[in-house]
Amino acid sequence: MKYIIVTGGVMSGLGKGITAASIGRILKNKGFNVTAIKIDPYINIDAGTMSPYQHGEVFVLKDGGEVDLDLGNYERFLDIELTREHNITTGQVYQTVIEKERRGDYLGKTVQIIPHITNEIKERIRRVSKKSGAEICIIEVGGTVGDIESMPFLEAVRQMHREEKEEDLIFVHVTLVPLDTQGEQKTKPTQHSVKELKSLGLQPDVIVARCKEPVLPDTKSKIALFCDVPAGAVVSAHDASDIYYVPTLMEKEGLSDYLMQKLKLTEKEISHEWEILMKKMASIDREIRIAVVGKYAHLGDSYISINEALKHAGIECGCRVKAEWLDAEEFEKNPSDIDRLCKYSGILVPGGFGVRGTEGKILAIKFARENNIPYLGLCLGMQLAVIEFARNILGLKDANSSELAKTGNPVIDILPEQENVRNMGGTMRLGNCEAILVEGSLACKLYGSTTLIERHRHRYEVNPKYIKQIEAKGMKFTGKNDHRMEIAEIPEHKFFFSSQFHPEFKSRPGRPSPPFLAFVRAALQ
């Protein structure tokens, strides 16, 4: 097994995740089987309870793991499916070590950071990478070098470097090359970051220099001299017009050749799939505008998978999808502003939790339905579509979700088998679930099958007591999992499709999600 450890310095948000994913992609293009692990030094067991304001989108894996959004980037770039084991947190590691100590597994020894915590980290990395069956494992260490939270993980990979063969483990350090007021590229932040890394016993093999503009040869030489790496190992990672161009950019910088040499790898069958995709992106010459009505409108990372799924569909359709994030609460404050939506080619309401912004989203759904504008609803976006239909078509003015308000008509509710956990808000349905599709339905046409498997993240369901009433008036539930409704569509509408699942999590460049692809096609028309 070959290991590539990706660390970051100077500041967070430099793009370690995209760097790790891009390295994986260029090695996959060379024919290698690549997997990835994300280390998050927070004490949370997983990202499931974290607010999008704090940490961006919670990405859901096939086994129901709620993880950091970087794992979504890994899945999209590498076109693989990961599991919860691929996200290692401080909380998981300490919980396991404490459980072992309580069982007496350490035979009375004093349990310490070294060796017990570091051994647990190393064991997890090796077990997960081996289980994946991959040849190369990319490991991103979250946070920045120098953070107290990251210390045990950096010590663990230092020990791994000592234990593995020299050609089996290398370090890639992502750092910042800022521009001063005169536009000069400054190397001091990189020098100090590498100095901090070295103080922990880690010597970078590659330095990925993030800069607004291409890093100049003189700047690279200076970094190489002061940081003790070859000039060819300093890679310019300047701003790209799209994250999917980054692997190509790194390839042109000679990174893949350097990695192949350093890891003593022999090139296999080369794939041109990514290159073809980039040419397709570069040839796009038209644009459509989609309104995404949510409550985290100013935080792009909160809906990153939706943004990427729209992009994937746009590439397939030969158009650029400009997603504009609109704050649902603004429509609640000023309902007359809803007419702004008429200038968009489609309206999308994403998932979410809590009552804030829901009435604004319902107004947006009503506008899409009444004006025959293509509509795509995801998770809460489906539940609110059912509520809007019940209120305005069935005449149940107090129709709502029992998650959001007390109501005499809970069209969205806890199902009977969940009654014993009503006080806890229901149980979360997470990860892959199957749905059976109605033959001849839009859903069946989109997926080209009578079954599908998609990922879920929700608690409440459509109340079966209202299904006959709703379907009698024109909204059809065309995807079901036993007595759970998975898809709601309005056949008479130009395009009105909503799902209880999150199709955005399985969308890939070159293989877009069927509902997103159909939505963009409808918007183009």
Residue 379 is a catalytic residue:
yes
Task: Tell whether the torsion through CA atoms of 415, 418, 424 and 427 is positive or negative.
Answer: negative
Residue 348 CA to residue 364 CA, distance in Å, equals 9
Q: Which of 86, 173, 458, 502 is catalytic?
A: 502
Residue 444 bears catalytic tag:
no
Annotated catalytic residue, options 211, 227, 319, 379: 379
CA 306, 312, 318: angle at the middle one, nearest 5? 130
Q: Which amino acid is at 130?
A: K
Distances (CA, A) of 155 to 87, 148, 173: 18, 12, 15
502 catalytic? Reply is yes
The 3-state DSSP class for residue 90 equals helix
> Could you say which DSSP state residue 511 is in?
B
Evaluate whether 470 touches 394 at the Cβ level (below 8 Å).
yes
**d(C-alpha 348, C-alpha 322), whole Å:** 12
Which strand ranges, in their side-by-side order, compose the sheet holding 2-8? 87-89, 34-40, 136-141, 2-8, 169-176, 206-211, 234-238
Residue in 120, 359, 388, 504 annotated catalytic: 504
d(CA 422, CA 443): 31
Instruction: Say how far apart CA 204 and CA 38 lie, in whole Å.
Output: 19
CA angle 48, 10, 250 (to 5 degrees): 85
For 353, other C-beta atoms within 10 Å of its C-beta total 17
Catalytic (active-site) positions: 379, 502, 504
